[in-house]
Amino acid sequence: MHQKSFNVHLSENYFSTPKKTYSANIVSPGPTRNQDDMVQKIFGIRTDFDPVTIRAILTMASQCLADYLTDGFSYQDENFRYSPVIHGAWDSPTSLFDKNIHKIGATATPTVKLRKTLEEININILGEKHGTSIIGRIIDQSTGAAADHIVPGEYIRIEGKNIRIFPEDEAGLGVFFVSETGTVTPVTHRLTTNTPSKIEAQVPPTLPYGDYTLRLISRYVASGTTTLNEPRIIEYRNPLTASAGSGSGGGNGGGGGGGIG
């Protein structure tokens, strides 16, 4: 069996430290995969399975997993152990659940089998990538705190390096929220701030509640004298949860996303 490998660029850590350090960014072969990709992959392995049937089974499996988690169960397959969790702190044993403070979520912990498989992957260091585009953290404008929680209709500040959306009015470029099923919702309201290190944008007011990947698509080049021939895709590594109220924060601030391309 052919041994797999990751191509990795090293980039200077976004947040200052006593000593200059670098973090690894895996060079992804493309955008995040979704159920359509999974259907095609399975069909490529077993062409006697009808794609419609494959999709139906995957959809049912996803719903069963959601049912287990919302019923309070943990669930384990060959790759992950999924568990429901509640984030936030209570002032006393008699305090009530408050959606403005507490947030219900879920975790996915790799199994021993998957960890061992990942340990076998080769890492190809491609060196420092100058002009790397990185999303460093997301700030909830209403609280001023780093967060992994967003509220439809409210504003967020995206901080990073070389993240400017340029040309700003070009079709296909901008800020997007990608759902777990692959649905892409663009930010249509004009960006209030759009610089290489900071973007301020309104979360689409009609964005359904759920988990999203923040994606930026731009042809910006740090020199400012030219543009990329092909758009660069930059995705934030941490998922963002859209729900009502002001989230409890808790974003670690350091899990940036690397540019593709």
Q: What is the pLDDT of residues 40-60, one digit of tens each?
A: 999 999 999 999 999 999 999
In the predicted structure, residue 200 carries a pLDDT above the cut 80: yes
In the predicted structure, residue 102 carries a pLDDT above the cut 80: yes
Mean pLDDT for 74-85 is 96
The per-residue pLDDT for range 117-132, each reduced to its tens digit, is 999 999 999 887 666 7
In total, the chain counts a number of residues equal to: 261
Domains belonging to the chain, first-starting first, are 5-124 (4.10.520.10), 133-260 (2.70.50.70)
Give the residue carrying structure tokens 């777990």. 180
Question: In the prediction, which pLDDT does 258 show?
Answer: 46
Question: In the prediction, which pLDDT does 250 show?
Answer: 41
Burial classification of residue 214, based on how many CB atoms lie within 10 Å of its CB (0-12 exposed, 13-18 middle, 19 or more buried): buried
- With cut-offs at 50, 70 and 90, classify the pLDDT of residue 15: low
- With cut-offs at 50, 70 and 90, classify the pLDDT of residue 257: very low
In the predicted structure, residue 221 carries a pLDDT above the cut 60: yes
Most confident of 72-81, 141-150, 218-227: 72-81
In the predicted structure, residue 65 carries a pLDDT above the cut 80: yes
The per-residue pLDDT for range 179-197, each reduced to its tens digit, is 988 999 999 999 999 999 9
More confident residue, 100 or 15: 100
Q: What is the pTM of this model?
A: 0.55
Q: 207 and 240 in contact (C-beta within 8 Å)?
A: no
More confident residue, 150 or 14: 150
Question: In the prediction, which pLDDT does 1 show?
Answer: 59
Q: Alpha-carbon distance 126 to 137, whole Å?
A: 24
Query: In percent, how much of the chain has pLDDT > 70?
Result: 88
Q: Alpha-carbon distance 122 to 6, whole Å?
A: 6
- With cut-offs at 50, 70 and 90, classify the pLDDT of residue 175: very high
- With cut-offs at 50, 70 and 90, classify the pLDDT of residue 261: very low
Mean per-residue pLDDT over the chain, rounded? 86
The per-residue pLDDT for range 154-164, each reduced to its tens digit, is 999 999 888 99
